[in-house]
Amino acid sequence: MPTTKILLDESEIPTHWYNVISDLPNPPAPYLTPDGKPLTPDMMTSIFAPALVEQEMSTQRWIPIPEEVREIYRLWRPSPLYRAHRFEAALGTPAKIYYKYEGVSPAGSHKPNSAVAQAYYNKIAGIKRLATETGAGQWGSALALAGQMFGLSVRVYMVKVSYQQKPFRRSMMETWGAEVIPSPSQLTQAGRQALAKDPDCPGSLGMAISEAVEEAASRPDTNYTLGSVLNHVLLHQTIIGQETRKQLEQVGDYPDVIFAPCGGGSNVGGMMFPFLADKAAGKAIRLVPVEPTSCPTLTRGHYAYDFGDSAGLTPLMLMFTLGHDFLPPSIHAGGLRYHGDSALVSQLCHDGILEPIAVPQLATFQAGILFAKTEGILPAPESNHAICAAMEEALQCKQTGEPKTILFTLSGHGHFDLASYDKYLAGELSDLDYPAETLQQSLQNLPNITRS
């Protein structure tokens, strides 16, 4: 019987994070202030821990993981890599399909990989409180968990539509001691402004970021943390790809193609960056971020300088963006509703090294349900995007007879997303149109940056 679950020993948890910046063909574009000047590190340390700012700008290839962080990683890492025998059989494909399962963390996704590191560096910097935003609730719960582990208070601004759709994510955060506020809220100027414009505003990740940043900037005991997009977050996630490489070596395999769902790019970077050097050395491997057609940042956005939040409080980053005031439709993969994307992932897409695709909502649920029926694990709606792409690739292999090796990140489980599965099963979900008109409008509001 061929192996199903490929495991590593605890001692094989990576000792270093991999910094892709050291190996990029082109140096990353600097972050800019709204007037077009490069952002300096001390501007960032007003809301981020110094060690994280250092990592954000570092060009060092390998960055040691503190023992205190590895100690907490041991609660769920190394995470398992599975060979999807039953899914393959159901598809009748000659392809081999592997998935790296990050849903084994206490919060149910890959997000604690960075949350634990961020809480640690804030703790040793003497910070007492953390403010953050959350979309679907996964990052908020990851940070609530991490804050609890290091004795930090956590306040989470949760996108209102998710707060209403996913009440149990809030219970989880509160159980871990965090305070959860639906965003937009009356607690910040950014929130009050949004509510004045539209009292029924469903919120967005960009808006919740504005609220959390505003709070961190106004309190010296409080720092801000972000669950995706920034270089240091992707850095922390590289343990995913490093472990996966080892696990595949153990069974003597190597992927022809890797899929990962893409919201802000952290599990994409985490899985794919450790394979980039092979690609640069001429290995034929396709690296494919998968996003929703209703929030098509990498496939339909502009590559331009834009703010990370809707109020324009963050620095400007060169990235693929739909415009910082783009309000994505309320699709069920809340973690993929973001107007922008990691600058590193964007740059690699721009350079043609990563090859993003977009898939529609209904097909993702269809794929996720077949996966649940065959492999047993009920996936997060975000993860369904990668499953959908892997399934299409496997079905193509069936046509061509090619026995490719397909790998994807199963970024989380969907136990808190059952309301959306209910809706799908009741036939109440639809493929939301590609929002061409809203998009054209929001792209007109991109900041006008002429780089000096």
- Between 328 and 412, CB nearer to ligand PLP: 412
> How far, in Å, are 258, 359, 420 from residue 93 at the CA level?
17, 21, 29
Min CB(205)–ligand PLP separation in Å: 10
Please provide residue 263's backbone torsions phi and psi, each rounded to the nearest 5 degrees: -105, -75
What is the rounded CA–CA span in Å between residue 448 and residue 435?
A: 23
- Between 306 and 404, CB nearer to ligand PLP: 306
Strand partners, 161: none
Min CB(186)–ligand PLP separation in Å: 27
The amino acid occupying position 363 is A
Scanning 97-159, the segments in alpha helix (DSSP H) are 112-124, 138-150
**8 A C-beta contact, residue 85 and residue 93:** no
Please provide residue 127's backbone torsions phi and psi, each rounded to the nearest 5 degrees: -75, 145
Query: How many CB atoms lie under 10 A from the CB of residue 281?
Result: 7
Min CB(379)–ligand PLP separation in Å: 8
What is the rounded CA–CA span in Å between residue 37 and residue 452?
A: 8
What is the rounded CA–CA span in Å between residue 334 and residue 424?
A: 15
Min CB(219)–ligand PLP separation in Å: 26
Query: How many CB atoms lie under 10 A from the CB of residue 267?
Result: 32
266: enclosing H helix or E strand: helix 266-280
- Between 93 and 266, CB nearer to ligand PLP: 266
Residue showing the smallest CB distance to ligand PLP in the complex = 412
- Between 359 and 380, CB nearer to ligand PLP: 380
Min CB(86)–ligand PLP separation in Å: 22
- Between 188 and 383, CB nearer to ligand PLP: 383
Sign of the CA dihedral running 184, 213, 449, 353: negative
- Between 123 and 385, CB nearer to ligand PLP: 385
Question: With left for phi above 0 and alpha for psi between -120 and 50, is residue 68 left, alpha or beta?
Answer: alpha
Cis peptide before 381 (omega within 30 of 0): no
Burial call 127-142: b when 16+ CB within 10 Å, e when fewer = bebbbbbbbbbbbbbb
**8 A C-beta contact, residue 265 and residue 259:** no
Burial call 297-326: b when 16+ CB within 10 Å, e when fewer = bbbbbeebbbbbbbbbbbbbbbbbbbbbbb
Residue 129 CA to its chain's centroid (Å)? 23
- Between 18 and 93, CB nearer to ligand PLP: 18
What is the rounded CA–CA span in Å between residue 368 and residue 388?
A: 7
Min CB(103)–ligand PLP separation in Å: 7
Min CB(43)–ligand PLP separation in Å: 24
Min CB(193)–ligand PLP separation in Å: 26
- Between 276 and 397, CB nearer to ligand PLP: 276
Closest CA to 118 of 216, 38, 190, 211: 216
Min CB(234)–ligand PLP separation in Å: 8
- Between 158 and 397, CB nearer to ligand PLP: 158
- Between 205 and 394, CB nearer to ligand PLP: 205
- Between 267 and 346, CB nearer to ligand PLP: 267
- Between 93 and 238, CB nearer to ligand PLP: 238
Min CB(391)–ligand PLP separation in Å: 17
Min CB(109)–ligand PLP separation in Å: 4
Interface residue list for ligand PLP (CB under 6 A): 109, 111, 138, 228, 261-268, 335-336, 380, 382-383, 411-412
Min CB(89)–ligand PLP separation in Å: 26
